[in-house]
Structure 1
Amino acid sequence: MKTFFRLCFFSFLSVCVPSLSSAQKSGTHIPDYPIRQGVSAPFAGFVDSVLIVAGGCNFPDKPAAEGGKKVYYSQIYSLTPGNTSKQWQEQTPLPIPVAYGASIETKDGLVCIGGMNNDSTSTAVFRIEISHSNPETVLISNLPSLSVGIDNAAAARIGNILYITGGNQPQQKKALYMLSMEQPESWKKLPDYPGKQRVQPTLVGTDNFLYLAGGFAFDSTTKTCTLSTDILRYDPSTQKWSVETSIPPYPDNTPRCLVGSSGVAYGNYLIFTGGVYAPLFKEAMEGKQDDQYLKHEPTWYQFHDDLIIYHTTDKSWKIIPHVAGMAKAGGVLLRKGNTLYMICGEIKPGIRTAEIPVISLSDLLK
């Protein structure tokens, strides 16, 4: 499965409220990402007020539909949003080119975990920090490596504890791993999440719980793709998983799978967006699409452009449809204060974008 997924995944790839046009117009402009054509599946996050983006991959010479070769990047760029005199600054690169890893914002820096490139799956864990002596530059330090290579997983933080789960693990395992930043000696294996494997899920941490949303499993023997359309909750105090809720379907009851999606916490809210359209993705993974699959216009693939918002206390959903710039797979959704940032991603299988939409959260959750 892993080999097939590496070649194909990103190459294949309730209440309605008014649109966000006024909120979008009030957002802070971000210059396009400096890597030509943008990247998918990078590490990304804020360190204090500085936006850091690292790694990722794209097809720089020819599109995937024309047999282009996927290139992985080690570049790190930084930018301070709102500072109009600044542009993206290239920093010291990562030790290896890598994409499809997971990243977590911490008070000490952006932690980058696992991932893969053309050569291997990574066990490496790095922290990208802002230099105290020169705030214009970043430093890279090593943290304890994972015991196994993991790619296309998801990571989140509760307090000073880092977690990673889902994705491609050896033997299609479903382990949850944690690392304490107070004593970062080694990653500890915690209970597996229940049910099917979840590749490309979203993991969001709140003050007390982890929420694991979506993902897919692929059985290479039967060539069957199974999509997870629910959200699991992990309680660190009991070390137990439970089913939290189902992801609301589209208005025509087509399921949402949250594969290649991204999410953030905002108080008692979980905000998800982006990712693939379940029926088309399932057909592609199961080999039921024809040789024209990669050659359609972006709108044909129906990548998610809704914000779907879950209230963890009320157990209720709000759906804000058709938000400009959110229809991406492999993008990274970030929140800084009351503002959302969608970092790069692909707008159709194999075609990335350098645009970084910015959305104000003012009036969004009323």
Structure 2
Amino acid sequence: MLTLPTHLPADAQSSFRYGTLPELPSIDGKPNPGVAGAFAGISHGALLLAGGANFPNGYRWQNGRKAWQSAVYVLSEPGKSTHWQSAGTLPGPLAYGASVSWNEQLICIGGANADQQHAAVFSLTWHPKTRQVITKTLPDLPLALANLSASVLGHELYVFGGESSQGSVRSLFVLNLQHPESSWQSRADLPGQARSFTTLVAMPDADGGSLFVLGGRQTVAGQTTVFGDAYQYHPKQNTWQRLGNLPVAVAAHEAAGVDTNRLLLFGGDDGVRLRQIEALNNQITNQPDHPEKAKWVVQRNDLQMNHPGFRREIWQYRTDTKRWAVVGHMPFPAPVTTTAIRWGKSFLLPSGEVSPGIRTPTIRLITSVSP
């Protein structure tokens, strides 16, 4: 059972209402297993979800293989429409990129397939009259990246971190979306460790706004470190500022801004069970002839099959007080490797992974009932 740090205060002034939107549509008459690492966002009032990866024919402990997806789905009126519709496919199977909603477009950035990371950037736009999704290309990233994070501040698209073919990076790139022909520009690297599975949150203000990097993880030689540090980036000065740590180290979480002073962080993987699984994986790999190998395999598979799920807290960070507080607790298996999408006073958590290998077709709706 996961427990909260005892020193963390609860904020009684804030609460949420929880609901769901229609589940992802069935595939060939079978229930949709859901996807992790899909591109997701809003275009002309429609919720788009594209690509992602899953295990449709058995999980890892059942010798199942990961399948990379290319389908594009549209829920044309979130909250009103009762079903999803198919809206074609991506140019190829793709997952674990970053996505943002801007100017009625879902912008899809980077990602990977079974073979490699990708640098492609493109937008998907839903046209309600023709009921079609139109794809438009944007300049490629300077570096092929997966498990990166992105956010839009004004008309500038920022991309941070991720995994290249050489490992995790701490690079920050920016693209002017009003003048994409100017291509991507490099900005100051994060002063902390390179990382992926993090979040980049834009917070506008009267001075032009800033960006926040929260947690994340790095895997080196089969061992993953989950980070609890946080940073604020100031675009005008091109400088980073180290903030106080998160309440708990997390990765593969979701985060989004609420207003100029508040951001929310949803759940995440604290890495406790992950490190146990990795330790057994490393023993199995490095000692293939060890007499205890079969026992280790059983132990590893049991850790995966009986995973307790990811953290369910909703944390709030106030930029004025620089304090964290628990403001909610998701009453459902919390998804990771998805995107928190702002929708009025609500946030959508579409599909995602609820324990190792296990996806959900459910679209979670979290609505603030506080002022």
The corresponding residue for 2:17 is 23
Question: 1:329 Cα deviation (Å)?
Answer: 2.0
- Counterpart in 2 of 1:164? 159
TM-score (norm 1): 0.86
User: Pick from 50, 56, 62: which aligns with 1:60?
Assistant: 56
User: Is the contact between residue 103 and residue 155 of structure 1 (CA under 8 Å) also seen in structure 2?
Assistant: yes
RMSD, matched Cα: 2.3
Q: Could you say which residue in structure 2 is the equivalent of 1:244?
A: 243
Displacement of 1:341 in angstroms is 1.3
Query: Which letter maps to 1:349?
Result: P
**Distance verdict in 2 for CA 1:188–1:285, change over 3 Å:** farther
5+ residue gaps, structure 1, are: 1-13, 249-255
Partner AA of 1:226 in structure 2: T
* More strand, by proportion: 2
Matched residue, 1:261 = 253
Which residue number corresponds to residue 192 of structure 2? 195
| Residue 218 of structure 1: aligned partner | 219
Q: Which structure is larger by alpha-carbon Rg, 1 or 2? A: 2
Distance across 2 between alignment mates of 1:132 and 1:30: 19
The residue aligned with 1:91 is: 87
Aligned residue number for residue 326 of structure 2? 319
Cα deviation, 1:32-66, whole Å, max 9, x if unaligned, reads: 11261111110111123211111101000111211
1:33 aligns to what?
24
Alpha carbons of structure 1 residues 333 and 310: separation in structure 2 relative to 1, 3 Å: same
Identity of aligned residues (%): 30
Q: Write out per-residue CA displacement over residues 98-146 of structure 1, whole angstroms, 9 at most, x where no aligned residue.
A: 1100001101401000000112211111101122752x22111111111
Pair 300,73 (structure 1): closer, same or farther in 2 beyond 3 Å? closer
* Matched position secondary structure for 2:37: coil
Q: Which amino acid aligns with 1:90?
A: S
| Conservation of the 8 A alpha-carbon contact between 1:65 and 1:350 | no
Q: 1:215 to 1:176 in 2, by over 3 A?
A: same
Match of 1:349 in 2: 356
Residues 165 and 194 of structure 1: CA distance in aligned 2, closer, same or farther (over 3 Å): same
Distance 1:76 1:167, change over 3 A: same
State the secondary structure of the residue aligned to 1:32.
coil
Q: 1:1-366 to 2 correspondence within 5 Å?
A: 14-17=8-11, 23-24=17-18, 27=19, 29-34=20-25, 36-79=32-75, 80-84=77-81, 86-131=82-127, 133-134=129-130, 136-172=131-167, 173-185=169-181, 186-207=183-204, 208-220=209-221, 223-248=222-247, 256-267=248-259, 268-287=261-280, 290-291=296-297, 292-296=299-303, 300-325=307-332, 327-363=334-370
More off after superposition, 349-358 vs 165-174: 165-174
Letter of the structure 2 residue corresponding to residue 280 of structure 1: R
Decide whether the 8 Å contact of 1:304 with 1:328 is kept in 2. Answer: no
Change (3 A) 1:311 1:170: same
Contact 1:326 1:342 in 2 (8 A): no
